[in-house]
Amino acid sequence: MPFTYPHFGSLTYVFEILLRELGRTDIMVPKKPSRKTSELGSRYSPEFVCTPFKLTLGTYIEMLDLGADELGIGGGNMYCRFGLYWPVQRLILEDLGYDFKFVPIPIYDKPLGLVKTLQAASNNCTVWETIKAFRTTWIKTRFIELVDKLHFKYRTLEMEKNQADKLAEEAHRKIVEIQGLRNLRKYGRKLPELFDKTIEIDQEKKKAALKIGVCGEIYVALEPTLNLDVHRKLNELGVITKNCVSFGMLIDFERKINPFITLPYQKARRVAKPYIGQRCGGEAQENIGDIILYKKKKWDGLVHLYPFTCMPEIITRSIAPQVSREYDMPFLSLVVDEHTGETGFQTRLEAFVDLLSRKKEKTLD
Amino acid sequence: MKKRVGIPRALLYYKFEAMWKTFFEELGAEVIVSPETTKTIKDLAVRYAPDEDCYSTKLYFGHFIYLKDKVDYFFIPRFGSDHEVNVGCPKFIGLAQVLESLFPDFPEIIMPYYSQAKANHGKRRLLRIIFQVGFKFTYSPLKILKAGIRAIKAQRVYEEQLHISEQQLENWIKSKIILNEKPNLEKRKKPMKIALVGHPYVLNDSLSNLDIRESLSQRGVDIITSLQMPRITIENQMEKLDYNLYFSYEREILGTIMYFLENNTIDGILQLAVFSCGPDSIVLELASRYSRRQPETPLLQLVIDELSSEVGFSTRIEAFLDMIDRRN
């Protein structure tokens, strides 16, 4: 029974790691979605559902055509409609005549419930083995995200093009393949050094480089097909970028239960309290908090991405101008859907970067 | 002078009308509810609301702005849910703070936060909210407590009256009783039976539903709304699903549709959805796919927004009714 799941930026590697650790040998790594995937998804999707629904549906159709028949997806109770993707997609795919099974993972369940579901999806793992597999996954995720961070930095500064892309791809693969946590930690510690040695840096660019965080709804912020590769676009404009949202933090139970560490998303939720006092689904509270946190870290601006008709992020978008004014932090909100034009997107990003660099020059004078 | 509390007549007002009105009246405040949605309010809404919000949320902005000079306080609770797992719409939680952020110089907004599902709020939280809000209007704790208890009782009585029993539902299906407007039987011998399904703030707001209830009864249609359906029937339907539909208001909608699709006892189902409503987009698709699997009872789905015209709307309804007539 070949198992597949939606393509999710660099998190595609994370899901591959998890499935491998669970003893599955029949993994079909999803294809990178293209324009055609999103068109295919939109054709069979409801009219005003959010864009991630359409892209994941497109991916499923493509993968089912290639022979997959077990589909993994998040489920469970939440404020956002993400948990109801699979019942609807199941009906749509059934009507298209496919034969398959959905494996919903309740992501907001209690830890034990989550482990039970993972165990059911695994290849005869015991509970203890499942927990161990899950632990390996979150530790590897830390390094996957570290590679991303380095990637977005060195892609801006590199002298020769495509070096960072190649190295990041290699490093990701290596992390997936590596056996044993000891080897992994050893390799992970060397990562910054590896990037520093292999890639030659343009010193002039480094001085002028702006720093912009990319926040927003997690799927749009992390999936390059959907956000039209916003990181690459910004990197090419000479901007060092970073993902403000992180999936690794949410599954990293070791750091979550550690009372001595406050994770960035917990900090963000705390500082966002005066503006939005409670969780209301999506990344609404975290994004508002990030405006304040990244100002304190002296970053130059934030780009906020969200899919069309996303309920929680519309709340963010309405409140963000006030926060951005009060803290003097430039904030650009962009809606993304399958009709978003490449040029319009590029123009707006360029204008935003121009604005920020002029602002930076002024403060330097 | 009495303190004036403004409540916009939109969204959750249609669900908790009895509770909120009784509470503030018992506290000795003057309750000012905005009028039924008018053209003026709609224009205000379209001008000031964020363009991506759903139509009903936009109308909320209209009512809010309409009331700004007439009140000392606004009452916009951040209501999450009243069930252990099932939630409401995330917009209901964020709305108060969005309004505060967009219109900072408006009167103070009273915005208690209550959510049983994610925040585990219970009776103690409710008591705290009652006192927190109450002390803004009076210093007598006894009066506040009395107001709180009466408000909750009023809400319970209102809901008991609204939700019919299973026996009543059966009687309605057999045409023994009429639940809503009396159908006009000039052109028809026997009234047509249709279930009108949608959110309370659409079905009860005659501007946003383009006066559908009146026009249906004029055409000799006897309606039942999803708001009136017995809770037990809806929960029974929901248990048949192998997943949990966790939006409480959508359970009512899908439950009603599934019940009538399955039993095939009425002539048709008419579903009203709001444009760009998140949960509605999911339920529209679920309902249409289920209806394709059980096609005996016809289902018409209409999506409304601020640009919907009455003519196009009534044409489709007429076509739907004609189709049912021809089938019978």
Instruction: Give the pLDDT confidence of A34-70 residue by residue, as tens digits.
Output: 989 989 999 999 888 989 999 999 999 999 999 998 9
Q: CB distance B52–A92 less than 8 Å? A: no
Written as six digits, the tokens of A364 are: 């330097």
Residue at a domain's end among A125, A153, A170: A125
Name the 3-class secondary structure at A3.
strand
C-alpha dist (Å) from residue B90 to A266, A314, B80, B254? 20, 10, 7, 19
Q: Cα B199–B205–B206 angle (5° rounding)?
A: 125
Q: According to DSSP H, which parts of B219-298 are helical? A: 231-239, 248-263, 278-293
Q: What confidence tier does A279 reach under pLDDT thresholds 50, 70, 90? A: confident
Q: CB distance A314–B53 less than 8 Å? A: yes
Name the 3-class secondary structure at B174.
coil
The residue range of the domain holding A262 is 209-365
- Chain B CB contacts of A279 below 8 Å: 118
> Could you tell me if B191 and B185 are in contact, meaning their C-beta atoms sit under 8 angstroms apart?
yes
Q: What is the pLDDT of residue B228?
A: 93
Mean pLDDT (whole number) for A290-305: 93
Q: CB distance A319–B286 less than 8 Å? A: no
Q: What confidence tier does A91 reach under pLDDT thresholds 50, 70, 90? A: very high
Q: What is the pLDDT of residue A337?
A: 84
pLDDT tens digits for B189-243? 888 999 999 999 999 998 988 899 999 999 999 999 999 999 999 999 999 999 9
Q: Report if residue A192 sits inside a domain.
A: no
CA distance B273 to B45: 19
Pairing of strands A239-243, A210-216: parallel
Of chain B, the percentage scoring pLDDT greater than 70 comes to 100
Q: What confidence tier does B281 reach under pLDDT thresholds 50, 70, 90? A: very high
Q: What CATH architecture applies to the domain B164-327?
A: 3-Layer(aba) Sandwich (3.40)
- Chain B CB contacts of A109 below 8 Å: none
Provide φ and ψ at A213, rounded to 5°.
Answer: -90, 145
Same topology, domains B4-161 and B164-327? Answer is yes
Residues A231 and A355 in one domain: yes
Q: What is the pLDDT of residue A110?
A: 83
Q: What is the pLDDT of residue A127?
A: 92
pLDDT over threshold 90, residue A320: yes
Of chain A, the percentage scoring pLDDT greater than 90 comes to 61
> Could you tell me if B10 and B60 are in contact, meaning their C-beta atoms sit under 8 angstroms apart?
yes
Q: What confidence tier does B327 reach under pLDDT thresholds 50, 70, 90? A: confident
Q: Report if residue A327 sits inside a domain.
A: yes
Work out how many CB contacts closer than 8 A connect A with B: 117
Q: Best mutation site among B289, B301, B302 for testing chain A: the one with the most A CBs within 10 Å?
A: B289
Residues A8 and A119 in one domain: yes
Question: In whole numbers, what is the pLDDT of chain B averaged over residues?
Answer: 92
Q: Rounded to a whole number, what is the distance in Å from the CA of B241 to chain A's nearest CA?
A: 10
Assign domain B4-161 to a CATH class.
Answer: alpha beta
Q: What is the pLDDT of residue A133?
A: 92
DSSP state at residue B77:
-
pLDDT over threshold 90, residue B5: yes
Q: Rounded to a whole number, what is the distance in Å from the CA of B57 to chain A's nearest CA?
A: 11
Residues A362 and A216 in one domain: yes
Residue at a domain's end among A125, A148, A177: A125
Half-sphere exposure (Cβ direction) of A201: Cα atoms closer than 13 Å: 15
Q: What is the pLDDT of residue A280?
A: 83
DSSP state at residue A33:
P
Q: CB distance B281–A75 less than 8 Å? A: no
- Chain A CB contacts of B94 below 8 Å: 276, 280, 284, 312, 315, 318-319
Q: Cα B5–B159–B76 angle (5° rounding)?
A: 25
Residue at a domain's end among A92, A125, A158: A125
B294 touches A at CB < 8 Å: no
Every domain of chain B and the residues it spans: 4-161, 164-327
CA distance A88 to A102: 11
Q: Which letter, b or e, does each residue of A88-120 get, where b requires 16 or more Cβ atoms within 10 Å of its Cβ?
A: bbbbbbeeeebebebbbbbbbeeeeebbebbbe
Q: CB distance B276–A91 less than 8 Å? A: no
pLDDT tens digits for B66-102? 999 999 999 999 998 888 889 988 889 989 999 999 9
- Chain B CB contacts of A284 below 8 Å: 90, 94
Element at A301 (helix H, strand E): strand A301-307
Q: CB distance B50–A317 less than 8 Å? A: yes
Residues A216 and A355 in one domain: yes
Q: Secondary structure of B81-124 in the HEC alphabet? A: CCCCCCECCHHHHHHHHHHHHHCCCCCEEECCEECCCCCCCCHH
Q: Best mutation site among B55, B64, B93, B102 for testing chain A: the one with the most A CBs within 10 Å?
A: B93
pLDDT over threshold 90, residue B38: yes
B48 touches A at CB < 8 Å: no
Q: Which residue has the higher pLDDT, A282 or B273?
A: B273
Q: Report if residue A149 sits inside a domain.
A: no
Closest CA to B159 of B229, B77, B89, B213: B229
Q: How many helices (H) and strands (E) does chain B have?
A: 13, 10
pLDDT over threshold 80, residue A238: yes
Q: Cα B213–B307–B9 angle (5° rounding)?
A: 55
Closest CA to B278 of A121, A281, A143, A261: A281
Of B86, B117, B286, the CB nearest to A91: B286
Q: What confidence tier does A277 reach under pLDDT thresholds 50, 70, 90? A: confident
CATH code for the domain of A347: 3.40.50.11900
Q: What confidence tier does A306 reach under pLDDT thresholds 50, 70, 90? A: very high
Residue of A nearest to B78 (CA): A278
Q: CB distance B93–A280 less than 8 Å? A: yes
Residues A213 and A326 in one domain: yes
Least confident of A108-112, A232-236, B299-303: A108-112
Q: CB distance A81–B281 less than 8 Å? A: yes
Of A83, A309, A319, the CB nearest to B52: A309
Residues A239 and A362 in one domain: yes
Q: Cα B78–B83–B84 angle (5° rounding)?
A: 110
Q: In sequence order, what are the residues at sequence separation of 6 or more whose Cβ sits closer than 8 angstroms to the Cβ of residue A123?
A: A22, A23, A24, A25
Q: CB distance A47–B289 less than 8 Å? A: no
Q: CB distance A312–B94 less than 8 Å? A: yes
Q: ipTM, 2 decimals? A: 0.92
Q: Which residue has the tokens 């009652």?
A: B130
Q: Report if residue A176 sits inside a domain.
A: no
Q: CB distance A319–B98 less than 8 Å? A: yes
Structural domain count, chain A: 2
Q: Best mutation site among A314, A323, A333, A337 for testing chain B: the one with the most B CBs within 10 Å?
A: A314
pLDDT over threshold 90, residue A204: no
Mean pLDDT (whole number) for A309-332: 92
